[in-house]
Amino acid sequence: MPELPDVAVYVEALEQRIIGERLEGISLASPFLLRTAVPPIQSAQDRRVTEVRRVGKRIAIGLESQLWLVFHLMIAGRLHWFGAGEPVARRAVLASLRFSNGLLTLTEAGTKRRASLHLIEGQEALHRQDPGGLEVLQSSLAQFRERLLRENHTLKRALTDPKLFSGIGNAYSDEILHAARLSPLWLTSRLDDAAVARLYVAAQEQLALWIGRLRQHAAGGFPEKVTAFRPEMAVHGRFRLPCPVCGTPVQRIRYAENETNYCPRCQTEGRLLADRALSRLLKADWPKTIEAFDRES
């Protein structure tokens, strides 16, 4: 799922292309994409774009008359831009927005239709689209600490809860926790002030770092290679590859459609965290430390 750095770069690219342009037409290929009926989608046509805004992991395109097109890309949704005269790819297109200077399309890979579009009116309606998470890059340490300790969760769950923190998901929470040298399963109630401060610094640095890197990848163009798995990442998506800090093979915990990646030496004092499915299968044979894992690998 595109997270804060990805969405921020999408927003910047859209600002450069559609602010002040007129939305000449909008077509939807899937009846399941649009989640609102009032105002009707046709009312967005022939209006100029006044603003583009990130709302958590959502992208909000502001139009004249206080109308907002709010896209939630979910896991497989992606945006694509085609300038005037450029050939347009039509595969897996769910929505097409034709502007006076080009075409914006929304695609979604796979068969599950999770991406959504809302057309809403007014700032209050837009505010209701926001889950309410703290904007880490604009927060103080005190604000971060209050939000982190508000409920007793694992660090992984706390960072990825959109009601607690804005825009952080599975990928960047792994990177933040690795940079902070903290276990993803450590409970927030057990953190001391030094650990909270370390996590705060890591969150700010990693989010800023990746916004910068993704800007460089786009190189002024529209971001097309939006993915949760990048070779420069320290641990996310790097199971069994060496940790860039200590060289220990990166480990993972798998659950549902997600997985958590971590370095046992940097983050868990050498302990392997139990993968729910595999540890249940292996029971007593599940290695408890990275040294035991190395011996049995």
DSSP characters over 24-73: EEEEES-TTTB---SS-GGGGTTEEEEEEEEETTEEEEEEGGGEEEEEE-
Query: How buried is residue 290: exposed, middle or buried, by Cβ count under 10 Å (0-12/13-18/19+)?
Result: buried
pTM exceeds 0.95: no
Residues in contact with 225: Cβ distance below 8 Å, sequence separation at least 6, in sequence order: 217
pLDDT at 85: 86
User: CA-CA distance, 36 to 126, in Å (whole number)?
Assistant: 13
Q: If residue 170 lies in a helix (H) or strand (E), which one and from where to where?
A: helix 170-180
> What is the dihedral sign for C-alpha 81, 86, 92, 95?
positive
DSSP string for residues in 175-209: HHHHHHT--TT-BGGG--HHHHHHHHHHHHHHHHH
pLDDT at 278: 46
pLDDT at 52: 98
- What residue ranges of the chain have pLDDT lower than 70? 256, 275-297
The CA-based dihedral angle spanning residues 118, 121, 125, 129, taken in that order and rounded to the nearest 10 degrees: 30
**For residue 240, how far is the Cα from the chain centroid?**
23
Domains of the chain from N-terminus onward: 4-127 (3.20.190.10), 136-296 (1.10.8.50)
| C-alpha triplet 61, 65, 69: angle, nearest 5° | 25
pLDDT at 92: 87
pLDDT at 285: 42
pLDDT at 56: 96
Helix (H, G, I), strand (E, B) or coil at 108: strand
pLDDT at 294: 38
pLDDT at 164: 97
